[in-house]
Amino acid sequence: MDKLDSKILEILKQGTPLRAIKIAQMLGVERREVNHYNVRD
């Protein structure tokens, strides 16, 4: 698990469903970088 992957998981663990664009804005990265990760169980 890399740094960005960990940050995405921490945001998602907060429980509020968010779109990739919102997560990307929170992390200061592009949406496609967020969409690159498959974080489903």
CB count in 10 Å sphere of residue 34: 23
Rounded CA separation 16/32 (Å): 20
Inter-residue contact 37 to 4 (CB < 8 Å): yes
**Greatest Cα pair distance in the chain:** 25
Could you tell me how many residues make up the chain? 41
Please report the pLDDT score of residue 1 as a whole number: 67
Please report the pLDDT score of residue 38 as a whole number: 72
Q: What is the pTM of this model?
A: 0.81
Report which DSSP code applies to 13: T
Greater model confidence, 8 or 38: 8
Q: Rg of the chain over CA atoms, in angstroms?
A: 9
How much of the chain exceeds pLDDT 90, in percent?
Answer: 76
Domain boundaries, given as residue ranges, for the chain: 3-35
